[in-house]
Amino acid sequence: MYTQALNEKPPSDTAISAAKARPEDAAKLARFQAIIDAEEKIEPNDWMPDGYRRTLQRQISQHAHSEIIGMQPEGNWLTRAPSLKRKAALLAKIQDEAGHGHYLYSAAETLGISREQYYEQLLSGRAKYSSIFNYPTLTWADMGAVGWLVDGAAIMNQIPLCRCSYGPYARAMIRVCKEESFHQRQGFEIMLTLCRGTPAQKAMAQDALDRFWWPVLMMFGPSDKDSMHSADSAKWKIKRFSNDELREKFIDATVPQGKFLGLTFPDPHLTFNDTTGHWEHGPIDWSEFKRVLAGDGPCNRQRLRNRRTSEADGTWVREAALAYAEKRRQRLAAAKVAAE
Ligand code: FAQ
């Protein structure tokens, strides 16, 4: 239960596909890879190796679960937003995240697993969702930090996914990225307002950065040497950049923004390397990442409990909708018989 643990490194999906390949599949596999190498899209009805399908089912559904669970940390501040304007913006952002979850479940369903099965994987604790959503949002400044940093990291990871080889995922990402960019800006604007406010407000913004910085860096996933899926995902052009490359791009983009805010980063080793032109960071505490994935982060239990409660509370709505659809179907069928 609650397991998000890192699994043992399995045999690579390419290796499994190759081992299982029957002679007639070799030609299909070659054709499949040629489509990908030519930068064309794989569509739901196209032939694809099992490993490609499983990778996408896993990644897209985890991504969808992240959007849905990711509504909770911000939902925590809806009733305490400091003004009507802030409340309206936060509400709209959270609704956008729900929309992203649903586009992503739709994309994942095209791979042969139903939305109900994906929900079941989440609710039973078998499926992962992004580690970042297991951290609490303690102050209003966290709404700034989530938008600025969490959505900022999400965009960095998702812009390349707009070019992912699987058509439905790539297309869903285009709208998601447009909305995430807006979320990032509203978060940065909350931080800017706080940093230009009273010393107490600026201290609140600094505290939010201090608590979110390292967990946000972990969002990009394990370092490349420990990333078990990256090799296959790169070959299949699902991933265009490695976890470490995206983490570095994010740090390079974000450090100047933090400096503009007049904030400091909670990393004494953060230094600009003039030779490489990149910021270098101190060691990431991967034991914390593993702990959170294993279900022992600050909010893992609460997040899943809330999700299960919402699912149970919504049962009557789903049942009523199905009963209404059935009545309507019967009425239309009866009207058709009467008209004949
Ligand atoms: N948390 O071999 P890799 C958002 C797992 S959306 C939890 O490197 P991969 C919007 C990984 O699944 C945020 N688990 O794996 C928003 C795998 O486990 P598995 C979500 C993680 O797939 C903003 C294992 O570790 N975004 O924020 C994490 O090649 C504000 C080995 O890792 C996406 O899902 C993690 N951070 O690369 C919403 C983007 N990192 O499955 C609300 C799409 C790794 O074998 C408010 N996903 N793991 O059991 C991806 O790009 C990739 O899946 C990575 C991981 C980069 C996350």
**CB contact at 8 A, 243 and 230:** yes
Q: How many C-beta atoms surround the C-beta of residue 95 within 10 A?
A: 11
Q: How many C-beta atoms surround the C-beta of residue 208 within 10 A?
A: 26
Q: Residue 23: pLDDT band by 50, 70, 90 thresholds?
A: low
What percent of the chain clears pLDDT 90, i.e. is strictly above it? 92
Query: Residues 178-237: pLDDT tens digits?
Result: 999 999 999 999 999 999 999 999 999 999 999 999 999 999 999 999 999 999 999 999
Residue 219 alpha carbon to ligand 1 centre in Å: 7
What is the spatial distance between Cα 38 and Cα 41, in angstroms, rounded to a whole number?
9
Nearest in space to 208 (alpha carbons), one of 196, 190, 186: 190
Q: Which atom of ligand 1 is nearest to the CA of 10?
A: 45
Q: Which atom of ligand 1 is nearest to the CA of 62?
A: 34
Tell me what pLDDT residue 22 has. 65
Residue type, 126: R
Nearest in space to 252 (alpha carbons), one of 227, 225, 223, 281: 281
**Residue from 2, 62, 216 to probe ligand 1 pocket by mutation (most atoms less than 8 Å from CB):** 62
Report whether pLDDT(13) > 70.
Answer: no
Q: What is the mean pLDDT of residues 50-58?
A: 97
Residue 332 alpha carbon to ligand 1 centre in Å: 46
Query: Residues 86-130: pLDDT tens digits?
Result: 999 999 999 999 999 999 999 999 999 999 999 999 999 999 999
Strand partners of residue 279 = 272
**Residue from 65, 77, 130 to probe ligand 1 pocket by mutation (most atoms less than 8 Å from CB):** 130
**pTM for the predicted model, two decimal places:** 0.92
Nearest in space to 184 (alpha carbons), one of 136, 220, 141, 150: 150
Strand partners of residue 278 = 273
Q: What is the mean pLDDT of residues 143-157?
A: 97
Tell me what pLDDT residue 9 has. 46
Tell me what pLDDT residue 79 has. 96
What percent of the chain clears pLDDT 70, i.e. is strictly above it? 93
Residue 130 alpha carbon to ligand 1 centre in Å: 5
Q: Rounded to an integer, what is the distance from CA 16 to the centroid of its chain?
A: 27
Residue 129 alpha carbon to ligand 1 centre in Å: 7
**CB contact at 8 A, 209 and 263:** yes
What is the spatial distance between Cα 277 and Cα 272, in angstroms, rounded to a whole number?
7
CA distances from 184 to 79, 143, 198 (A): 21, 10, 23
Strand partners of residue 271 = 280
Tell me what pLDDT residue 6 has. 42
Residue 110, SS3?
coil
Show the ligand 1 pocket: residues with CB < 6 angstroms: 4, 6-7, 58-59, 62-63, 66-67, 70, 97, 128, 130-131, 146, 150-151, 154, 157, 218-222, 227-230, 233, 243, 293
Q: What is the mean pLDDT of residues 289-301?
A: 97
**CB contact at 8 A, 135 and 73:** yes
Query: Residues 241-288: pLDDT tens digits?
Result: 999 999 999 999 999 999 999 999 999 999 999 999 999 999 999 999
CA distances from 133 to 1, 47, 144 (A): 17, 35, 15
Tell me what pLDDT residue 25 has. 86
**Residue from 66, 97, 165 to probe ligand 1 pocket by mutation (most atoms less than 8 Å from CB):** 66
Query: Residues 226-236: pLDDT tens digits?
Result: 999 999 999 99
Tell me what pLDDT residue 4 has. 44
Residue 89 alpha carbon to ligand 1 centre in Å: 26
Tell me what pLDDT residue 140 has. 98
Residue with the smallest CA separation from ligand 1 atom 54 is: 221
Residue 132 alpha carbon to ligand 1 centre in Å: 10
Tell me what pLDDT residue 47 has. 96
Q: CB neighbours of 191 closer than 8 A, spacing ≥ 6? A: 141, 144, 145, 148, 205, 208, 209, 261, 263
Tell me what pLDDT residue 229 has. 96
Q: Mean pLDDT over all residues of the chain?
A: 94
Residue 257 alpha carbon to ligand 1 centre in Å: 24
Q: Which atom of ligand 1 is nearest to the CA of 58?
A: 41
Question: Looking at residue 128, what DSSP letter applies?
Answer: -
Report residue 176 as tokens: 């998601």
Q: Which atom of ligand 1 is nearest to the CA of 220?
A: 56
Tell me what pLDDT residue 20 has. 57
Strand partners of residue 212 = none
Residue 312 alpha carbon to ligand 1 centre in Å: 27
Length of the chain: 340
Residue with the smallest CA separation from ligand 1 atom 53 is: 59
Report whether pLDDT(2) > 50.
Answer: no
Find the distance separating the first CA and the last CA of the chain, reported in whole Å.
Answer: 56
Residue 23 alpha carbon to ligand 1 centre in Å: 34
What is the spatial distance between Cα 210 and Cα 207, in angstroms, rounded to a whole number?
5
What is the spatial distance between Cα 279 and Cα 274, in angstroms, rounded to a whole number?
9
